[in-house]
Amino acid sequence: MSESSSGPIVDLKQVVKHYRRGRETVEVLHGLDLSIERGEFCALMGPSGSGKTTLLNLIGGLDRPTSGEVHVDGQRIDSLGSRALARWRSDHVGFIFQFYNLMPVLTAQRNVELPLLLKSMSSAERRKRAATALEIVGLADRAKHLPRELSGGQEQRVAIARAIVSDPDLLLADEPTGDLDRATAEEILDLLQTLNRRHGKTILMVTHDPVAADRAGRTVQMDKGSLLEAA
């Protein structure tokens, strides 16, 4: 059911997530409540196993909570079927991964075009949009390069271009600087800040790095499946 888009872009209510590990049931998230406002740049920090990635997966519609409600961009997504959820993801969320996850057989341009295959638009329009996204991340001159011909930082820029090419309101980044050196990480964080401030993208970034978290306007700490504080 669609709701008003004037409220928070992410709104979690009493979210619980269980996993089955053999015969054992493990509770990863314990009744979480979290709101993220539109246009926020929020860092999610916490030790390994605290449930950060699980939370990100729930917000991104990659997984469903055991109980509770997940509202994103005005839509309750935890009750959507898998096809509807896939379509919703292609329209509303952009994902950025630690290891970039580009298709090694496609050029930068075509990697960025990939999400647009799901949209009804001409190939010329797809090319144009991909070129614009690459320009935003500063890689217009690398459009014809394969991922193996790019540096780590450049690969992550292409991945960011792929995440924004469909113009989603929400970007979910899972350790986007975790595989990069400090200087390159700073460049990527600059880019994320630009997307947040200049292009109005809401960003939720999982990170272990306090320096990266400092770039966010808000930091949320997690431990053992619970939110500790919201700064």
Partner 1 sequence: MGWLHLVRRNLGRRKLRTTFTLASIIVAFTLFALLGGLNRAFNAGVELAGADRLITTHKVSFIQLMPVSYTRRAAEVEGVEAVTHYTWFGAYYRDPKQQFGLFPTDLEKLPEIYPEYTVPEARWDALMGNRIGLLVGQAMADYYGWEVGDTLPLFSSIYPQTDGDYDWEFVLEATFTGTGNEADEMQAFAHYEYFNEARAFGTDLVGWLVTKIEDPERAPEVAAAIDARFANSPTETRTSTEAGFAAAFTDQFGNIGLIIQSILACVFFTLLLITGNTMAQSVRERTSEIAVMKTLGFTDRLVLALVLAESLAMALVGGLIGLAIGTLLIDGMAAAMAQFFPGLAPSPAALVTGVGAAILLGIATGALPAWRAARLRVVDAMGRR
Residue numbers of the site for partner 1 (CB under 8 A)? 57, 60, 62-63, 82-83, 86-91, 95, 97, 99, 101, 103-106, 109-110, 113-115, 117-118, 123, 126, 162
Closest alpha carbon to 89 in 122, 121, 57, 134: 57
We find the least distance from the C-beta atom of residue 191 to partner 1, in angstroms, to be: 20
We find the least distance from the C-beta atom of residue 48 to partner 1, in angstroms, to be: 13
User: For residues 5 and 123, which CB has a smaller minimum distance to partner 1 in the complex?
Assistant: 123
We find the least distance from the C-beta atom of residue 16 to partner 1, in angstroms, to be: 16
Residue 22: both structure tokens together: 């053999």
We find the least distance from the C-beta atom of residue 118 to partner 1, in angstroms, to be: 5
User: For residues 109 and 156, which CB has a smaller minimum distance to partner 1 in the complex?
Assistant: 109
User: For residues 1 and 105, which CB has a smaller minimum distance to partner 1 in the complex?
Assistant: 105
User: For residues 62 and 140, which CB has a smaller minimum distance to partner 1 in the complex?
Assistant: 62
**Could you tell me if 174 and 53 are in contact, meaning their C-beta atoms sit under 8 angstroms apart?**
yes
User: For residues 2 and 82, which CB has a smaller minimum distance to partner 1 in the complex?
Assistant: 82
**Could you tell me if 88 and 80 are in contact, meaning their C-beta atoms sit under 8 angstroms apart?**
yes
Residues 212, 184: Cα–Cα separation, whole Å: 12
35 DSSP β-pair partners: 11
Q: Give the DSSP letter string of 27-78.
A: EEEEEEEEEE-TT-EEEEE--TTSSHHHHHHHHTTSS--SEEEEEETTEE-T
We find the least distance from the C-beta atom of residue 145 to partner 1, in angstroms, to be: 15
**Could you tell me if 194 and 217 are in contact, meaning their C-beta atoms sit under 8 angstroms apart?**
no
Cβ within 8 Å of residue 141, ≥6 positions away: none
